[in-house]
Amino acid sequence: MITLVLTVVLIVLVLAAGALVYAIRARNMQIWLGSYLRRRPPPAVDGPVHVMFCFVDHFEPAWGKVDVTTQRQRVDRWCRDYRALASTHRDADGRPPQHTFFYPEEEYLEEHLQKIAALCAEGYGEIEIHLHHDDDTEANFRTTISRFNELLHERHGALPRDPLTGQLRFGFIHGNWSLDNSRADGRWCGINNELILLRELGCYADFTLPSAPSDTQTRMINAIYYATDDPLRPKSHNSGEPVRVGGKASGDLMIVQGPLGLNWRERRFGLIPRIESADVRRNCPPTPARVDAWVRTGIHVEGRPEWIFVKVHTHGTQERDMDTLLGPAAHAMHDHLERHYNDGARHVLHYVTAREVYNIIKAAEAGKSGNPDAWRDFELPPPPHGAG
Protein backbone atom coordinates (compact mmCIF):
# COMPACT_ATOMS: atom_id res chain seq x y z
CA MET A 1 0.00 0.00 0.00
CA ILE A 2 2.78 2.43 0.92
CA THR A 3 4.58 1.58 -2.32
CA LEU A 4 1.41 2.35 -4.29
CA VAL A 5 0.96 5.71 -2.58
CA LEU A 6 4.57 6.64 -3.17
CA THR A 7 4.24 5.66 -6.81
CA VAL A 8 1.15 7.82 -7.24
CA VAL A 9 2.85 10.76 -5.54
CA LEU A 10 5.89 10.34 -7.77
CA ILE A 11 3.72 10.24 -10.89
CA VAL A 12 1.91 13.40 -9.81
CA LEU A 13 5.20 15.18 -9.17
CA VAL A 14 6.60 14.10 -12.54
CA LEU A 15 3.44 15.26 -14.31
CA ALA A 16 3.49 18.56 -12.46
CA ALA A 17 7.15 19.10 -13.33
CA GLY A 18 6.43 18.27 -16.96
CA ALA A 19 3.49 20.65 -17.04
CA LEU A 20 5.65 23.41 -15.54
CA VAL A 21 8.43 22.87 -18.10
CA TYR A 22 5.85 22.92 -20.89
CA ALA A 23 4.32 26.12 -19.52
CA ILE A 24 7.72 27.79 -19.31
CA ARG A 25 8.47 27.06 -22.95
CA ALA A 26 4.97 27.76 -24.22
CA ARG A 27 4.82 31.12 -22.44
CA ASN A 28 8.39 32.21 -23.26
CA MET A 29 9.20 32.35 -19.56
CA GLN A 30 12.75 31.13 -20.19
CA ILE A 31 13.53 34.67 -21.40
CA TRP A 32 13.02 36.30 -18.01
CA LEU A 33 12.53 33.57 -15.41
CA GLY A 34 16.21 33.52 -14.43
CA SER A 35 16.11 37.24 -13.68
CA TYR A 36 12.96 36.75 -11.64
CA LEU A 37 14.45 33.93 -9.57
CA ARG A 38 17.62 35.95 -8.89
CA ARG A 39 15.68 39.00 -7.75
CA ARG A 40 16.35 40.57 -4.37
CA PRO A 41 13.72 42.32 -2.26
CA PRO A 42 13.78 46.14 -2.32
CA PRO A 43 15.93 47.69 0.41
CA ALA A 44 14.24 48.61 3.67
CA VAL A 45 13.55 52.30 4.12
CA ASP A 46 13.04 54.67 7.03
CA GLY A 47 9.82 56.64 6.84
CA PRO A 48 6.97 56.33 4.35
CA VAL A 49 7.24 54.74 0.93
CA HIS A 50 5.84 56.95 -1.82
CA VAL A 51 3.86 54.92 -4.38
CA MET A 52 3.64 56.40 -7.88
CA PHE A 53 0.69 54.71 -9.58
CA CYS A 54 0.61 55.09 -13.36
CA PHE A 55 -2.03 53.57 -15.65
CA VAL A 56 -1.01 53.48 -19.33
CA ASP A 57 -3.46 52.54 -22.05
CA HIS A 58 -2.90 51.18 -25.55
CA PHE A 59 -6.01 53.19 -26.49
CA GLU A 60 -7.25 51.88 -29.84
CA PRO A 61 -10.79 53.04 -30.79
CA ALA A 62 -10.63 51.19 -34.14
CA TRP A 63 -9.58 47.88 -32.58
CA GLY A 64 -11.10 44.99 -34.56
CA LYS A 65 -11.45 47.26 -37.63
CA VAL A 66 -14.86 48.47 -36.48
CA ASP A 67 -16.85 51.25 -38.13
CA VAL A 68 -16.73 54.87 -37.02
CA THR A 69 -20.03 54.58 -35.16
CA THR A 70 -18.62 51.84 -32.93
CA GLN A 71 -15.40 53.78 -32.43
CA ARG A 72 -17.42 56.82 -31.40
CA GLN A 73 -19.40 54.77 -28.89
CA ARG A 74 -16.17 53.47 -27.35
CA VAL A 75 -14.62 56.91 -26.96
CA ASP A 76 -17.85 58.44 -25.66
CA ARG A 77 -18.20 55.74 -23.02
CA TRP A 78 -14.63 56.30 -21.86
CA CYS A 79 -15.06 60.05 -21.61
CA ARG A 80 -18.33 59.68 -19.71
CA ASP A 81 -17.50 56.79 -17.40
CA TYR A 82 -13.90 57.74 -16.64
CA ARG A 83 -15.00 61.15 -15.41
CA ALA A 84 -17.47 59.41 -13.11
CA LEU A 85 -14.87 56.92 -11.90
CA ALA A 86 -11.95 59.26 -11.34
CA SER A 87 -13.97 62.07 -9.78
CA THR A 88 -14.65 59.90 -6.71
CA HIS A 89 -11.00 59.14 -5.93
CA ARG A 90 -8.04 61.21 -4.76
CA ASP A 91 -4.38 60.63 -3.89
CA ALA A 92 -2.35 62.28 -1.13
CA ASP A 93 -2.00 65.42 -3.25
CA GLY A 94 -5.73 65.75 -3.91
CA ARG A 95 -5.41 64.57 -7.51
CA PRO A 96 -7.76 62.09 -9.18
CA PRO A 97 -6.44 58.94 -10.91
CA GLN A 98 -4.42 59.82 -14.00
CA HIS A 99 -4.89 57.88 -17.24
CA THR A 100 -2.24 58.13 -19.95
CA PHE A 101 -3.79 57.53 -23.37
CA PHE A 102 -1.17 56.17 -25.79
CA TYR A 103 -3.06 56.85 -29.00
CA PRO A 104 -2.12 54.97 -32.21
CA GLU A 105 -0.99 57.16 -35.09
CA GLU A 106 -2.53 54.86 -37.69
CA GLU A 107 -6.00 55.21 -36.08
CA TYR A 108 -6.06 58.99 -35.95
CA LEU A 109 -9.50 60.57 -36.14
CA GLU A 110 -9.81 64.19 -35.11
CA GLU A 111 -13.10 63.86 -33.25
CA HIS A 112 -11.74 61.09 -31.01
CA LEU A 113 -8.69 63.10 -30.02
CA GLN A 114 -10.78 66.21 -29.36
CA LYS A 115 -12.85 64.30 -26.83
CA ILE A 116 -9.84 62.68 -25.14
CA ALA A 117 -8.00 66.02 -25.06
CA ALA A 118 -11.00 67.62 -23.36
CA LEU A 119 -10.98 64.87 -20.73
CA CYS A 120 -7.27 65.44 -20.14
CA ALA A 121 -7.75 69.22 -19.93
CA GLU A 122 -10.08 68.59 -16.98
CA GLY A 123 -7.16 67.01 -15.11
CA TYR A 124 -7.73 63.30 -15.74
CA GLY A 125 -4.66 62.38 -17.77
CA GLU A 126 -2.44 63.04 -20.78
CA ILE A 127 -2.01 61.85 -24.37
CA GLU A 128 1.13 60.11 -25.67
CA ILE A 129 2.10 58.13 -28.78
CA HIS A 130 1.36 54.54 -29.76
CA LEU A 131 2.32 53.04 -33.11
CA HIS A 132 1.67 49.80 -34.98
CA HIS A 133 3.90 49.33 -38.00
CA ASP A 134 5.40 46.49 -40.01
CA ASP A 135 8.34 46.17 -42.39
CA ASP A 136 9.00 49.86 -41.86
CA THR A 137 11.89 52.03 -43.01
CA GLU A 138 13.87 54.65 -41.15
CA ALA A 139 12.70 57.43 -43.46
CA ASN A 140 9.03 56.52 -43.14
CA PHE A 141 9.31 56.14 -39.36
CA ARG A 142 10.84 59.60 -39.02
CA THR A 143 8.13 61.15 -41.16
CA THR A 144 5.31 59.33 -39.35
CA ILE A 145 6.40 60.23 -35.82
CA SER A 146 7.33 63.82 -36.68
CA ARG A 147 4.00 64.44 -38.39
CA PHE A 148 2.00 62.88 -35.54
CA ASN A 149 3.95 64.84 -32.91
CA GLU A 150 3.06 68.13 -34.57
CA LEU A 151 -0.54 67.10 -35.15
CA LEU A 152 -1.13 66.11 -31.52
CA HIS A 153 0.49 69.27 -30.23
CA GLU A 154 -0.94 71.85 -32.62
CA ARG A 155 -4.46 70.49 -32.98
CA HIS A 156 -5.05 68.80 -29.62
CA GLY A 157 -2.75 70.51 -27.13
CA ALA A 158 -0.86 67.29 -26.35
CA LEU A 159 2.88 66.77 -25.77
CA PRO A 160 5.19 69.25 -24.04
CA ARG A 161 8.02 71.19 -25.60
CA ASP A 162 11.42 70.78 -24.04
CA PRO A 163 12.11 74.10 -22.24
CA LEU A 164 15.79 73.93 -23.22
CA THR A 165 15.59 72.86 -26.87
CA GLY A 166 12.02 73.60 -27.92
CA GLN A 167 11.68 70.06 -29.28
CA LEU A 168 8.39 68.25 -28.80
CA ARG A 169 8.82 65.38 -26.33
CA PHE A 170 6.71 62.25 -26.06
CA GLY A 171 6.35 58.92 -24.30
CA PHE A 172 6.04 55.83 -26.47
CA ILE A 173 4.41 52.40 -26.46
CA HIS A 174 5.14 50.11 -29.39
CA GLY A 175 2.28 48.27 -31.04
CA ASN A 176 2.35 44.47 -30.80
CA TRP A 177 5.07 44.91 -28.13
CA SER A 178 7.71 44.87 -30.90
CA LEU A 179 10.02 47.66 -29.79
CA ASP A 180 13.31 47.69 -31.72
CA ASN A 181 12.24 44.82 -33.99
CA SER A 182 12.13 42.48 -31.00
CA ARG A 183 9.81 39.74 -32.29
CA ALA A 184 11.68 36.58 -33.19
CA ASP A 185 9.98 36.48 -36.61
CA GLY A 186 10.79 40.13 -37.36
CA ARG A 187 7.15 41.20 -37.72
CA TRP A 188 5.46 44.41 -36.60
CA CYS A 189 8.48 46.68 -36.75
CA GLY A 190 11.36 46.16 -39.19
CA ILE A 191 13.77 48.75 -37.77
CA ASN A 192 16.83 47.67 -35.77
CA ASN A 193 17.83 51.24 -34.84
CA GLU A 194 14.45 52.23 -33.43
CA LEU A 195 15.82 53.32 -30.05
CA ILE A 196 18.17 55.79 -31.73
CA LEU A 197 15.36 57.12 -33.92
CA LEU A 198 13.01 57.56 -30.98
CA ARG A 199 15.64 59.50 -29.06
CA GLU A 200 16.35 61.77 -32.02
CA LEU A 201 12.63 62.38 -32.57
CA GLY A 202 12.07 63.48 -28.97
CA CYS A 203 10.98 60.37 -27.09
CA TYR A 204 11.72 60.79 -23.40
CA ALA A 205 11.00 57.15 -22.40
CA ASP A 206 9.43 53.92 -23.58
CA PHE A 207 6.57 52.36 -21.56
CA THR A 208 5.96 49.18 -23.60
CA LEU A 209 7.20 46.59 -21.08
CA PRO A 210 6.40 44.14 -19.64
CA SER A 211 5.20 42.25 -22.71
CA ALA A 212 5.22 38.67 -21.36
CA PRO A 213 4.20 36.12 -22.51
CA SER A 214 5.27 37.56 -25.87
CA ASP A 215 8.77 36.69 -27.09
CA THR A 216 9.39 40.44 -27.21
CA GLN A 217 9.81 40.41 -23.41
CA THR A 218 13.28 41.41 -22.26
CA ARG A 219 15.68 39.54 -20.03
CA MET A 220 15.92 42.57 -17.74
CA ILE A 221 12.73 42.95 -15.68
CA ASN A 222 11.22 45.13 -12.95
CA ALA A 223 13.65 47.92 -13.73
CA ILE A 224 14.09 51.50 -14.89
CA TYR A 225 17.14 51.67 -17.13
CA TYR A 226 18.88 53.22 -20.10
CA ALA A 227 19.19 51.05 -23.20
CA THR A 228 21.90 51.48 -25.82
CA ASP A 229 20.93 50.68 -29.40
CA ASP A 230 22.94 48.36 -31.62
CA PRO A 231 21.68 49.48 -35.03
CA LEU A 232 22.72 46.20 -36.60
CA ARG A 233 20.74 43.97 -34.23
CA PRO A 234 17.20 43.82 -32.86
CA LYS A 235 16.03 44.03 -29.22
CA SER A 236 18.86 46.23 -27.98
CA HIS A 237 16.82 47.00 -24.86
CA ASN A 238 17.13 43.40 -23.66
CA SER A 239 19.38 44.82 -20.95
CA GLY A 240 20.77 48.17 -19.97
CA GLU A 241 22.17 50.47 -17.30
CA PRO A 242 19.89 51.05 -14.29
CA VAL A 243 18.94 54.65 -13.55
CA ARG A 244 20.53 55.58 -10.23
CA VAL A 245 20.77 58.50 -7.84
CA GLY A 246 23.74 60.63 -8.85
CA GLY A 247 23.94 58.99 -12.25
CA LYS A 248 23.60 60.46 -15.72
CA ALA A 249 21.57 59.65 -18.78
CA SER A 250 23.33 57.15 -21.00
CA GLY A 251 22.70 55.14 -24.11
CA ASP A 252 19.73 56.03 -26.28
CA LEU A 253 16.45 55.60 -24.44
CA MET A 254 15.04 55.26 -20.94
CA ILE A 255 12.97 52.10 -20.48
CA VAL A 256 10.29 52.25 -17.76
CA GLN A 257 8.97 48.79 -16.94
CA GLY A 258 5.92 47.67 -15.02
CA PRO A 259 5.81 44.70 -12.61
CA LEU A 260 6.49 41.21 -13.96
CA GLY A 261 6.54 37.97 -11.97
CA LEU A 262 4.57 34.88 -11.03
CA ASN A 263 1.12 34.87 -9.51
CA TRP A 264 0.97 31.87 -7.17
CA ARG A 265 -2.46 32.78 -5.80
CA GLU A 266 -4.26 32.15 -9.10
CA ARG A 267 -2.62 29.01 -10.46
CA ARG A 268 -3.65 27.20 -13.61
CA PHE A 269 -5.04 23.75 -12.84
CA GLY A 270 -4.13 24.45 -9.23
CA LEU A 271 -0.44 23.82 -9.99
CA ILE A 272 1.07 26.27 -12.48
CA PRO A 273 1.47 29.92 -11.47
CA ARG A 274 0.07 32.52 -13.81
CA ILE A 275 2.24 35.26 -15.24
CA GLU A 276 1.76 38.60 -13.49
CA SER A 277 2.45 41.17 -16.19
CA ALA A 278 0.50 44.17 -14.82
CA ASP A 279 -2.16 43.75 -17.50
CA VAL A 280 -5.66 44.82 -16.42
CA ARG A 281 -8.74 43.52 -18.17
CA ARG A 282 -11.79 41.31 -17.59
CA ASN A 283 -9.92 38.01 -17.34
CA CYS A 284 -7.26 39.55 -15.07
CA PRO A 285 -9.03 42.17 -12.94
CA PRO A 286 -7.09 44.45 -10.58
CA THR A 287 -7.76 42.54 -7.37
CA PRO A 288 -6.36 43.72 -4.02
CA ALA A 289 -3.93 40.78 -4.07
CA ARG A 290 -2.58 41.93 -7.44
CA VAL A 291 -2.27 45.52 -6.25
CA ASP A 292 -0.28 44.29 -3.25
CA ALA A 293 1.99 42.27 -5.55
CA TRP A 294 2.60 45.31 -7.78
CA VAL A 295 3.61 47.42 -4.81
CA ARG A 296 5.80 44.65 -3.33
CA THR A 297 7.78 44.47 -6.58
CA GLY A 298 9.24 47.81 -5.57
CA ILE A 299 10.44 49.14 -8.92
CA HIS A 300 12.60 52.19 -8.15
CA VAL A 301 15.58 54.29 -9.12
CA GLU A 302 18.66 52.74 -7.53
CA GLY A 303 19.45 54.63 -4.34
CA ARG A 304 15.89 55.94 -3.89
CA PRO A 305 13.90 52.86 -2.73
CA GLU A 306 11.39 55.02 -0.86
CA TRP A 307 9.98 56.14 -4.24
CA ILE A 308 8.44 53.16 -6.04
CA PHE A 309 6.74 53.07 -9.42
CA VAL A 310 3.74 50.90 -10.23
CA LYS A 311 2.99 51.06 -13.96
CA VAL A 312 0.06 48.95 -15.14
CA HIS A 313 -1.43 48.74 -18.62
CA THR A 314 -4.50 47.84 -20.61
CA HIS A 315 -6.15 47.99 -24.04
CA GLY A 316 -8.99 50.20 -22.93
CA THR A 317 -11.40 50.29 -25.85
CA GLN A 318 -12.31 46.61 -26.03
CA GLU A 319 -15.94 46.17 -24.97
CA ARG A 320 -15.31 42.94 -23.08
CA ASP A 321 -12.99 44.82 -20.70
CA MET A 322 -14.73 48.15 -20.20
CA ASP A 323 -16.89 47.06 -17.28
CA THR A 324 -13.69 46.05 -15.47
CA LEU A 325 -11.78 49.22 -16.36
CA LEU A 326 -14.59 51.68 -15.72
CA GLY A 327 -16.79 49.94 -13.17
CA PRO A 328 -16.74 48.31 -9.73
CA ALA A 329 -13.40 46.50 -10.21
CA ALA A 330 -11.59 49.76 -10.97
CA HIS A 331 -13.31 51.48 -8.03
CA ALA A 332 -12.17 48.61 -5.79
CA MET A 333 -8.61 48.95 -7.05
CA HIS A 334 -8.50 52.65 -6.24
CA ASP A 335 -10.23 52.08 -2.90
CA HIS A 336 -7.55 49.56 -1.99
CA LEU A 337 -4.75 51.89 -3.08
CA GLU A 338 -6.19 54.78 -1.13
CA ARG A 339 -6.98 52.76 1.97
CA HIS A 340 -3.79 50.67 2.24
CA TYR A 341 -1.15 52.78 0.48
CA ASN A 342 -2.03 56.29 1.54
CA ASP A 343 -1.96 56.38 5.33
CA GLY A 344 0.83 58.96 5.41
CA ALA A 345 2.92 56.92 7.82
CA ARG A 346 3.86 53.75 5.92
CA HIS A 347 2.80 54.79 2.43
CA VAL A 348 1.90 57.91 0.46
CA LEU A 349 -0.01 57.53 -2.82
CA HIS A 350 0.54 59.64 -5.93
CA TYR A 351 -1.50 59.23 -9.12
CA VAL A 352 0.83 60.12 -11.99
CA THR A 353 0.94 60.31 -15.78
CA ALA A 354 3.72 58.78 -17.86
CA ARG A 355 5.34 62.21 -18.22
CA GLU A 356 5.25 62.73 -14.48
CA VAL A 357 6.80 59.30 -13.95
CA TYR A 358 9.70 60.37 -16.17
CA ASN A 359 10.08 63.68 -14.36
CA ILE A 360 10.12 62.06 -10.92
CA ILE A 361 12.65 59.48 -12.14
CA LYS A 362 14.90 62.26 -13.42
CA ALA A 363 14.49 64.12 -10.13
CA ALA A 364 15.60 61.02 -8.24
CA GLU A 365 18.56 60.65 -10.57
CA ALA A 366 19.47 64.28 -9.83
CA GLY A 367 19.46 63.55 -6.12
CA LYS A 368 16.10 65.05 -5.21
CA SER A 369 14.28 63.51 -2.26
CA GLY A 370 11.32 64.14 0.01
CA ASN A 371 7.83 64.35 -1.45
CA PRO A 372 7.91 63.42 -5.16
CA ASP A 373 4.79 65.53 -5.75
CA ALA A 374 7.19 68.46 -5.91
CA TRP A 375 8.91 67.00 -8.96
CA ARG A 376 6.01 66.10 -11.27
CA ASP A 377 7.21 68.77 -13.73
CA PHE A 378 10.92 68.55 -12.91
CA GLU A 379 12.25 68.46 -16.48
CA LEU A 380 9.27 68.49 -18.86
CA PRO A 381 6.35 70.88 -18.27
CA PRO A 382 2.71 69.86 -18.66
CA PRO A 383 1.39 69.85 -22.24
CA PRO A 384 -0.90 72.75 -23.15
CA HIS A 385 -4.08 70.75 -22.49
CA GLY A 386 -2.84 70.04 -18.98
CA ALA A 387 -1.85 73.59 -18.11
CA GLY A 388 -3.53 75.36 -15.22
CATH of domain 32-386: 3.20.20.370
- pLDDT bracket for residue 11 (50, 70, 90): very low
By CB atoms closer than 10 A (0-12, 13-18, 19+), residue 213 is middle
Q: Say how far apart CA 15 and CA 360 lie, in whole Å.
A: 47
Q: Is the pLDDT of residue 6 over 60?
A: no
Beta strand residue intervals within 179-230, DSSP E: 203-206, 224-227
**DSSP-derived 3-state class of residue 15:** helix
Looking at every residue in the chain, the average pLDDT score rounds to 93
At 31 the three-state DSSP class reads helix
Question: What is the pLDDT, as a whole number, of residue 192?
Answer: 98
pLDDT value at 65 more than 60 = yes
Share of the chain above pLDDT 70, in %: 92
What is the per-residue pLDDT for 28? 95
Q: Where are the domains of the chain?
A: 32-386
* pLDDT confidence tier of residue 1, bands split at 50, 70 and 90: low
- Is residue 103 predicted with pLDDT exceeding 80? yes
* Per-residue pLDDT tens digits for 105-150: 999 999 999 999 999 999 999 999 999 999 999 999 999 999 999 9
Weakest-pLDDT range from 123-132, 269-278, 332-341, 370-379 = 269-278
* CA distances to 49, 204, 270, 304, 359 from 377, in Å: 20, 13, 46, 18, 6
Q: Pairing relation of β-strands 241-242 and 224-227?
A: antiparallel
pLDDT, residue 41, reads 87
pLDDT at 248 over 70: yes
pLDDT at 272: 79
Say what percent of the chain tops pLDDT 90.
87
Confidence of residue 8 (pLDDT cuts 50, 70, 90): very low
Q: Taken in order 285, 114, 352, 200, is the CA torsion positive or negative?
A: positive
Strand partners, 173: 130
Q: Quick one: which of 186, 189, 190, 194 has its CA closest to 227? A: 194
